[in-house]
Structure formats: structure tokens, C-alpha cells
């Protein structure tokens, strides 16, 4: 896969990874609505950044940091741990991009 070169590219990768975390977290039936609402809120926030700054270039170090985050998230297999990551993951992406959460 080519290295993302714009904020759009990086956020697209992050959103794909985030969707997988959300799907895993939805396996916990008692937490389904929490997971759904939390995921939608953070997905919307990341999409706002993409809409505002999408074509802006991303430094290689930032791309590497987000790639590492995506890689770590892919290693999660426990639905409860996925839920824990649902609020942390997007905040790390936003911090890496110099955004406020």
C-alpha cells in the first residue's frame, strides 16, 4: 500500500481501522448503543478535519505514527478492549494531525 500523502489519505486509513474496532466492540450486546453513538461522534469529527484540510500534505513522521496506531489497533481481538480504544484512537489521530479533539 502506498504511503498516505495527504490528510484525506491518512484519515481514510484511520477510519477503516476505526470501523473495524467499532465492529468488534459491537459484539458486546450490552454496549451496542454506546459503541454506535461514540463511533459516530468520532467518525464525524475526523470527517470534519478531512473536509477542512483534506488536501494538505502530511509529514512522513505523522504518517508513520498513524500507521503504527492502525497496526496496533489491528492486533486487538477482544471486544471489550476494542471499546476502550474507541475514544482513544481518534484522539491520537487528531493530536498527530495538530487538531483539537
Distance of alpha carbon 47 from its chain centroid, rounded? 10
- Angstrom CA distances, 32 to 28, 36, 68, 80, 87, stand at 6, 6, 27, 11, 15
**CA gap 81, 45 in Å, rounded:** 22
Q: Output the pTM of the full model.
A: 0.91
Q: What is the pLDDT of residues 19-50, one digit of tens each?
A: 999 999 999 999 999 999 999 999 999 999 99
Residue 79 pLDDT > 80, yes or no?
yes
Phi/psi of residue 32, each to 5°?
-55, -50
Look at residue 47 in the predicted model and tell me its pLDDT: 97
The answer to whether residues 98 and 52 touch, using CB atoms and an 8 Å cutoff, is no
Residue 4 pLDDT > 60, yes or no?
no
Amino acid at each position: 500500500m502506498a504511503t498516505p500523502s495527504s490528510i484525506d489519505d491518512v484519515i481514510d486509513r484511520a477510519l477503516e481501522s476505526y470501523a473495524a474496532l467499532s465492529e468488534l466492540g459491537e459484539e458486546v450486546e450490552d454496549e451496542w448503543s454506546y459503541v454506535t453513538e461514540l463511533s459516530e461522534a468520532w467518525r464525524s469529527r475526523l470527517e470534519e478535519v478531512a473536509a477542512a484540510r483534506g488536501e494538505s500534505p502530511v509529514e512522513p513522521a505523522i504518517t508513520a505514527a498513524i500507521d503504527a496506531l492502525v497496526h496496533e489497533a489491528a492486533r486487538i481481538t477482544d471486544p471489550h478492549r476494542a471499546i476502550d480504544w474507541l475514544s482513544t484512537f481518534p484522539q491520537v489521530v487528531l493530536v498527530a494531525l495538530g487538531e483539537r479533539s
